Amino acid sequence: MRSVWILALCLGISASSLNCSRGSGSQEATTRVASIESPAPTTAASPTSVPKLQFEWTSTGPTLTPHVSQEAVRLSDGRVMVIGGFTSLDFSPTSSRVEAFDEVTNAWERLADMNYGRVNHVAFVLKDGRVLVVGGGRQDAQATAEVWDVKTGRWSLTGRLLFPSYNSCGAGLPDGRVVVVGGATASGATDGAQVFDPALNEWAAFPAPTLARFGCRLYYVGQTGTLRLVGGQTSGVVQGNDGFEEFDFQTRSWSQREGFAAGGGGYLTAAVADDGTIAFVGGLLTRGTGGQFGQRQVVQLLAQDGSSSLLPLMPEGRYYSTAIVVPDALIVVGGIKGGPDDDLNNATTATSSLAFDFLRQEWVAFELPQSAAGVSAVRLPSGRILVLGGWNARKSAPEVFATAAILSVVR
């Protein structure tokens, strides 16, 4: 394995396309893990008078199995469920294993395996506490989905998906249904969309967006009652989509919205605050021709009303990272680091995490227990953050991690 580029291709979608959807989370009961319960960013009149943030890591002990290209969600009882992924960089087989972390006991437990091994899948906590897992794959897109019952602890298949895909994106609706959009198949990106009804345990067609894309982000916007589709890639070249699409439930149609600078990057990660503001972080950018790429340093906030603003540039670009919002700060955990002019083959796994302090209006770096990309980060009931899994980008001896630790952020 001669470079980070080769490794990223293996963690992505297919032989003809580069992609990845890691680094995101879950709002209330039905969104993805990057949408962690978090307060909105705030500002202060005198930044230099505000005490600095302090960061402290506490080990949980290792996960029961290594994870990369996994999903993680917080269950209704406060435990964190970690679902599937690869367990090694041989990329075979995909894992059907599921485990959970209990913050009260500080312990990991094995849960029932899924019916199918899955990577690059999407997972949602439904309003009744059950967990929905959809699709997945690397070169062999799956057309199956399954539900974990919190009462029985068992997995059961839903009705068959209308189309197979992996690296899709999705969001929960107020009525409990879940919309899943886009993704990749063996023939490339798809513009397909489908909606799951938990009451019927069946999938139905949903209006397709204007662009085929994979590795995207989809959010339900409560203020406007619309769906917002952001980012993703449309071809084998890392080619993000500037602007975003919005779905109007009254007209049952998608419309293109322009002027969103953070839309043009691959491996984009995102975090959602309680007021619905979304922070889009880093990703890849294309430099000229010949398959050259650099790392994006851009962080953009997108409010529910559609207005956007840019934060100061990150000290270094990041992709395949994970972002989460905590009181007064945006945390960017791990990833592959570099700058806009750094070739991807020369990029390395980040040895630190970054935090933007909204009160002091500055970026600060802090240590990572394990240098890693593709980690999961989930907000625990206490407000602390569980960080787990991932892989390193060493050109020699790359590995998948079973490392897990809890991050406390205080002032």
Q: Say which residue, 316 or 197, is predicted with more confidence.
A: 197
CATH number at residue 159: 2.120.10.80
Nearest in space to 186 (alpha carbons), one of 237, 120, 142, 231: 142
- Is pLDDT above 50 for 239? no
3-state secondary structure 200-264: CCEEEECCCCCCCCECCEEEEECCCCEEEEECCECCCCCCECCCEEEEECCCCEEEEECCCHHHC
The SS3 assignment for 6 reads helix
Is it the case that residue 8 has pLDDT exceeding 80?
A: no
Strand 253-257 to strand 107-111: parallel, antiparallel, or no bridges (unpaired)? unpaired
How far is residue 405's CA from residue 386's CA, in Å, rounded to a whole number? 6
**Structure token digits, residue 23:** 């680094």
Q: Mind listing the pLDDT tens digit for each residue in 118-164?
A: 999 999 999 999 999 999 987 678 899 999 999 999 999 999 999 99
Number of domains in the chain: 1
Integer Cα distance of 182 and 351 in angstroms: 33
The whole-number pLDDT of residue 21 equals 33
> Reduced to 3 states, what is the DSSP secondary structure of residue 145?
strand
Local confidence band at 370 (pLDDT 50, 70, 90 cut-offs): confident
pLDDT at 5 over 60: no
> Does 320 score more than 70 pLDDT?
yes
Cα distance between residue 383 and residue 369, in whole Å: 19
The whole-number average pLDDT for the span 310-329 is: 90
How far are the Cα atoms of 85, 210, 352, 371 from residue 93, in angstroms, in the given order?
9, 35, 30, 25
Q: Say what percent of the chain tops pLDDT 70.
A: 77
Give the 3-state DSSP-derived string for 316-338, with helices as H, strands as E and coil as C: CEEECCEEEEECCEEEEECCEEE
Return the higher-pLDDT residue of 277 and 89: 277
Residue 86 · residue 64 · CB < 8 Å? no
Q: Are 7 and 1 spatial neighbours (Cβ–Cβ below 8 Å)? A: yes
Give the domain range for residue 251: 4-410
What does pTM read for this prediction?
0.84
